[in-house]
Amino acid sequence: YPAGFVYIFLGLYYATGRGSDVRLAQHLFAGLYLLHLLLVFRVYCRTRKVVPPYVFFFMCCASYRIHSIFVLRLFNDTVAMAILFLAVNLFLEERWSWGCLIFSLAVSVKMNILLFAPGLLFLLLKRFGLQGCIPKLCICALLQVLLGLPFLLVNPMSYLSRSFDLGRQFQFKWTVNWRFLPEEVFQHRAFHAALLLAHLAGLGLFALRRWHSRSKGSILALLKDPAQRKPPSPPFAQIVFVLFSSNFLGVCCSRSLHYQFYVWYFHTLPYLLWCTPTAKLAHMPKVLLLGVIELCWNTYPSTVCSSLSLHVCHGLVLLQLWLGTAAPLDAPPARRPAPLPKKVQ
């Protein structure tokens, strides 16, 4: 893992008596879980999207797997995602430099945060243009260098290759999403390359047709000075939609999903399902979709049926994201109408 993971879990190691006080570690992770939920709810409040209240109950109380990942297993995925949601909150506050710094910190804990990176790059180009985007990217890179400096000075090639191992081979026995494939296909390099191409194609299509409005001209216009574009700042809904959908595309095309990876996108699913206009009769099928996804992640070991069901659910989420209108994402968040003067009333 990258250097941020080493520092954070080294601190936890000493705080828990060299790893002997497991109860204290669970209490610390329970606090992290509550902080994580607070950051998630704040994102949903800022976007003002209409999500049924009972969905938030599902998010807090109904997922055994998420509770296990946070408080029983103490995975580093939870730390990375909590830091990521802090970065999202900073982006919504228009604190882009601080947001990029915290985003890079999340990457230093676990590499899966890079699934949000294509969406973040799009937002930075939209907000600052190519010239203004470069300093923000430098902030991300500089933090990685500073955190990894003790390791880079000793063995740079080993640190880079092991901390950001893009060619890692996953074990078939732990896969949640590809159980229906023969193991030789699962491990084949051609299959991995096909998934990478599908991922890149999905990002390209969403960038052209869902993240960028065709009414605003070519996507190459993002490279220009933002002062020449209106509005220069993306609305809250678009910031969250771009980041969450970028991550979800990566999850759908992952070479393997292990059980702890559920936290990568669990708290984004309600937004992705309800970010497009929803008829009253469509609410329950979406809740059912959340339930089936939860059931797939709680099936251990995974089966042909559970892995196929998970792909079907992911496909349905992608389909509704693609077919749903993108118009609301181009508009600023709704505000309460100003009160009328007493004479008018």
Cα–Cα nearest to 270, from 101, 117, 66, 13: 66
pLDDT at 325: 53
Query: Which residues are CB-neighbours of 80 under 8 A, at least 6 positions away?
Result: 106, 107, 109, 110, 112, 113
Give the pLDDT confidence of 25-43 residue by residue, as tens digits.
999 999 999 999 999 999 9
Domain ranges, ordered by start, for the chain? 3-162+170-323
pLDDT at 229: 63
pTM: 0.91
pLDDT at 7: 97
CA distance 116 to 119: 6
122 pLDDT more than 70: yes
Beta strands per DSSP E along 46-144: none
If you ran DSSP here, which 8-state letter would residue 75 be given? -
Residue percentage of the chain with pLDDT more than 70? 90
Q: What is the phi/psi pair of residue 217, to 5°?
A: 90, -165
Give the pLDDT confidence of 276-305 residue by residue, as tens digits.
877 766 788 999 999 999 999 999 999 999
241 pLDDT more than 80: yes
**Nearest-10 crossing angle of helices 117-152, 156-163:** 140
pLDDT at 286: 92
Query: Which residues are CB-neighbours of 61 under 8 A, at least 6 positions away?
Result: none
CA distance 68 to 297: 12
For 45, 159, 233, 329, the CA distances from 215, given in Å and listed in that order, are 28, 45, 17, 13
Give the pLDDT confidence of 184-235 residue by residue, as tens digits.
999 999 999 999 999 999 999 999 989 987 656 677 777 777 766 655 567 8
pLDDT at 340: 44
Tokens standing for residue 227: 């002062």
